[in-house]
Structure 1
Amino acid sequence: MFQEERLQAILQYLTANKRITVDQICELYDVSRDTARRDMVKLEEQGTIVRTRGGAILPTLSKDIGNYEQRMQEASTSKLTIGKTAASLVQDGNYLMMDASTTVLHAAASLRSKHNVVVTNSIETAAVLTRNEEITIHMLGGVLDKKHHRVWGAKTLEMIHDYHVDKLFIGTCGITEEGLSAPDEEDSYIVRTMMEHADQVIVLADHTKFGKRLFHRVVGFDRIDILITDQEVSSSMRELLIANEVKLVLAGGEDRHD
């Protein structure tokens, strides 16, 4: 087996088993300890593993977050289904707040209720909502983030404090048993502040977000009221949601628990 083939096999083993040791590499691929160590050095240089005492694990920190257009393409069918389910929770006359998530954009596009007011920091969500004559839009001010098509900064946080809404819809880049996480502090601060000004917090997260941990923790599950996703969650995640009284909704299906 050539080294590149062996490196791919090691990564596949790690995906399935979470951890591999030098001895396991030697046994699985019939190589010497020196060769096994060189393989791990190569994988570490590529950034695909984290070396530990006597072995290696896959990185637990997700770092690569695409721009807005790239994120729109990821799990697009799932996001559309989740967005439609989220929109169905909105009643006539509800006041809403929406963050700059691409999944939340689908919720905005799917709104069919009447006489709603929406506060958002997403230029894309605001643009989509202009097509709906039943909705009044309040656009938050601040610095325009061209990469993610959102407005943020001190002015954004200041303006959020002037509003209070019935429902807040947010997305997330990562969700683990520790809660929600984001790639930067600014995003976390905006979401936390939005939560302080909403009666109900609704998180939209497709299946690809589960198990991902990013640089900055946003909040734990104690701050969330409803989680909408497109696939069944793990038993440990379900128990955690129940313990925190988070209502789990499967998009296109039935509520899993109250």
Structure 2
Amino acid sequence: MYQEERMLAILDYLKKHERISVDQICDLFLVSRDTARRDLVKLEEEGAVTRTRGGAVLPQLRHEIKSYQDRLNVVSEEKQRIGKKAATFVTDGDVVILDASTTVQACAEFLLDKQATVITNSIHQADILSNGELLNIHLLGGKLEKDHRFLYGSAVVEKVSSYNADIAFIGVVGISEQGLTIAHEEDGMVKRKMIEQSNYVIALADSSKFGRSEFFRFAKLEDVDLIITDKTPDQHVEQMLDAHHVKLIIAEK
């Protein structure tokens, strides 16, 4: 079992049992105590767990995260502009990865006339894309997150690793000096693998996402090639992106 798969399984266990010990990790996954500790250290660095003496627990969420349907109703005009601009980067024959964010869903709506292969873990995206006659759609199978309508888990991560994509479109909750962050660690694990498997990574984020940081970091700034947003951010944000060689495009009205 790969470390990423083991980490997802550890998080699944924590959701059911609230805490896990190093000994339990060793017994469950047949690994050494050093390997178990390394897994917990990495999960803690990413904000997914809080380590305790001899094990770990889940951290307390800092924000109430809105349901997928609620988020569809937030800044929809900005998301539409961002999504429309993002779709212009897809050319016929491309292999494209779409994550499960609502801003990326806006991009999916403008891909229906493309001739491309699209890989996604979002059941909403797959439904929208099914209207594109020339689109070849791969829906990644796994566990269903009912509130937010995405598929996750080790099966999704493993399947993504078998693809090589031209472009990945990734949504975020926060963009800061610390990197790109998300509210749900399961979603973040999938996003990370999507980024790793793509030649070019485009983050889609309305301007409210800059300067925010959620509890799970799934990527560093330098892992992203381009960010598309709805309006020019503060100068210090532009300088931060410049320093990490991240391009910025504004989707004008």
Report the TM range for the smaller structure's normalisation: 0.7 to 0.9
* Deviation of 1:62 (Å): 5.1
Q: Indicate the RMSD between aligned Cα atoms, in angstroms.
A: 1.4
* Deviation of 1:215 (Å): 1.0
Structure index of larger Rg? 1
Check if 1:209 corresponds to 2:241: no
Return the letter of the residue paired with 1:226.
L
| Counterpart contact for 2:229–2:249, Cα < 8 Å | yes
Distance in 2 separating the partners of 1:249 and 1:98: 19
* Deviation of 1:140 (Å): 0.2
2:173 alignment partner in structure 1:
173
| Counterpart contact for 1:75–1:208, Cα < 8 Å | no
**Number of residues of Structure 1 aligned to a counterpart in Structure 2:** 193
1:81 alignment partner in structure 2:
81
Query: Does the residue aligned with 1:194 lie in a helix, a strand or coil?
Result: helix
Distance in 2 separating the partners of 1:211 and 1:73: 22
Distance in 2 separating the partners of 1:117 and 1:95: 5
2:219 alignment partner in structure 1:
219
CA deviation profile, 1:91-125 (whole Å, cap 9, x unmatched): 11111000000000010101155320000000000
CA deviation profile, 1:132-184 (whole Å, cap 9, x unmatched): 10100001010011100100011111111111110000100111222211112
| Counterpart contact for 1:92–1:113, Cα < 8 Å | no
What TM-score, normalized to structure 2?
Answer: 0.74
2:96 alignment partner in structure 1:
96
2:197 alignment partner in structure 1:
197
Q: Which moved more, 1:61-70 or 1:128-137?
A: 61-70
Query: Does the residue aligned with 1:141 lie in a helix, a strand or coil?
Result: coil
* Deviation of 1:194 (Å): 0.7
Return the letter of the residue paired with 1:244.
H
Distance in 2 separating the partners of 1:237 and 1:188: 23
Evaluate the alpha carbon distance shift between residue 62 and residue 134 of structure 1 in structure 2; reply closer, same or farther with a 3 A threshold: farther
Distance in 2 separating the partners of 1:89 and 1:175: 22
| Counterpart contact for 2:65–2:183, Cα < 8 Å | yes
| Counterpart contact for 1:90–1:113, Cα < 8 Å | no
What TM-score, normalized to structure 1?
Answer: 0.72
2:6 alignment partner in structure 1:
none
Return the letter of the residue paired with 1:206.
D
Query: Does the residue aligned with 1:81 lie in a helix, a strand or coil?
Result: helix
| Counterpart contact for 2:113–2:132, Cα < 8 Å | no
1:122 alignment partner in structure 2:
122
Q: Identical aligned pairs, as a percentage?
A: 40
| Counterpart contact for 1:172–1:205, Cα < 8 Å | yes
Distance in 2 separating the partners of 1:98 and 1:140: 11
Aligned pairs for 1:218-257 within 5 A: 218-252=218-252
Structure 2, gaps ≥5 residues long: 1-60
